Structure 1
């Protein structure tokens, strides 16, 4: 039974699975996998606001090698202003449009199509699919890892189908990702009338000193594989908008994208120290999304690069640029590489992917599986 990746991609995209996702979109994927010999396990965890999140582990075969494909069925909210219904796919001039076309339902459909065409006589293939990659991932891929560990199941290598290509399918493979930490710095003060500043304590100038000090930080010069770590402020706020009130608190929000010279906890500690020095009594809240990771050269590199080269004639760039992925969690299990469609329209209005790119991606994934199980 050969699966049509375009038909499956359309069926998946037509499910409005805004993060965190569960239910119908997983039903569609299960119906595609069951006839291919996969045993499908589904479990839903968590409560709002981070849940409920549904996850799926689908396994075919046994023994080694064990090749895992990871991905997510949740999507970001579509936003207003689409040319057509974001959850009713349209194909026009060879382009498939809909939320999730690039990030990353088409890649999941391409992998299922590849698995349907692969004569796997030994070894194990698994799909590790979450409904919460676009959100906080509290009940997503980390819980899939727990499920695997509880059953002593460990892939030898994992390919994540995130959209990594830039200008042309196959031009970029992500061999690692930067870490990410969000922080909120709260500086206390005493509310009062602007005409009587001696009866208040304005936190804004103190927060400004913190911002200036952090903005001048030089974290590192990067490495051969990673660019320099960078800190960016994303918001500054006070609880009152009245022009004649000194606020009781002032808050700055920032994000640090960091390479493997840094650790999230160390960066939080550094920010805490600077905030306390510049504005005594301030507090720092932090959420570490993931640590930086780098997959060393090996079999996973080789089979993916060879498959891309054979299908497209391109020698892909091995990169760590861009945002993070669930590889930040999956690296606990085995080597991880991200590779998928061109990413120019991900998260944008009228997200779309070329039909031929989806077919070609399925062929690349098929080549990867054939090499792994040869």
Structure 2
């Protein structure tokens, strides 16, 4: 029974998190179409067979479909036929290139708006996190050395290599100096103490050792405007970190630590079990990731369509539907390859986690 409940909890948590992110993304496209006078034929939440639906006064078919992990908006005239009749004024390609640009970028923009609102509410209601003076684990990065070694959120690190710690800063600086070296941490969990062996890996800059842990936070009150500033800053820093991480991996020819569908399901499930605050924060995090990813100038993505329209604005003429179709075929192949690679990464991570857990049961029970 507990397994059934756990599975149901996972499905519901992911449906809420991913459904909210994707629904708001598509809502951005829909609202932009309505604002600019473009007729929308269908607004669907999910994919597959329609379960519920109705047709609005404007002729739009609103649908809830069987598979709740996705959605789409279909503007009228979105797929013009080369050499066919000229598009009408209320159709997608009846709009000038700059208006179509607004429509495609409205989806990612809505993702950032969602993240901003969620972050603002969290920071205003909970306060701004500050590192606790004690060396207590507040959060972890899946797949990093600490996670693989079996360290858990809530663990208190008492000593580093047999030396007592004065606090979090002492622990962090000691780890930073130990990249590539096996270290022994004395960890306290549930009033029991045991040793954990872990080897810090180098950070993205290749300068410091990291094991993927973050301190348990204390919180200081923040007013509404301060919360809005910190929320905007967090969205910016997350986007910036994504760029620097990917660029660093490409420059060093390293395999990116991408999370695929399985990895995202894991993260959402763990956040939901950790509490509503972590769950809401992760929804914001995923929303920024989805918004940023869709801004990339790759065919099939919003950013790819935007690149076509920028080209149209510069050259004064639109790319032919045939040329766009070829580009979209290449883009689809790239995205499918990325999906396969990310899913492969997920299974490697799961196998590594299981191997680490099976190797440490004796230590964890001391």
More strand by share: 1
More helix by share: 2
TM-score, scaled relative to structure 2: 0.23
TM-score, scaled relative to structure 1: 0.23
Q: Which has the higher contact order (CA 8 A, sep 6+)?
A: 1
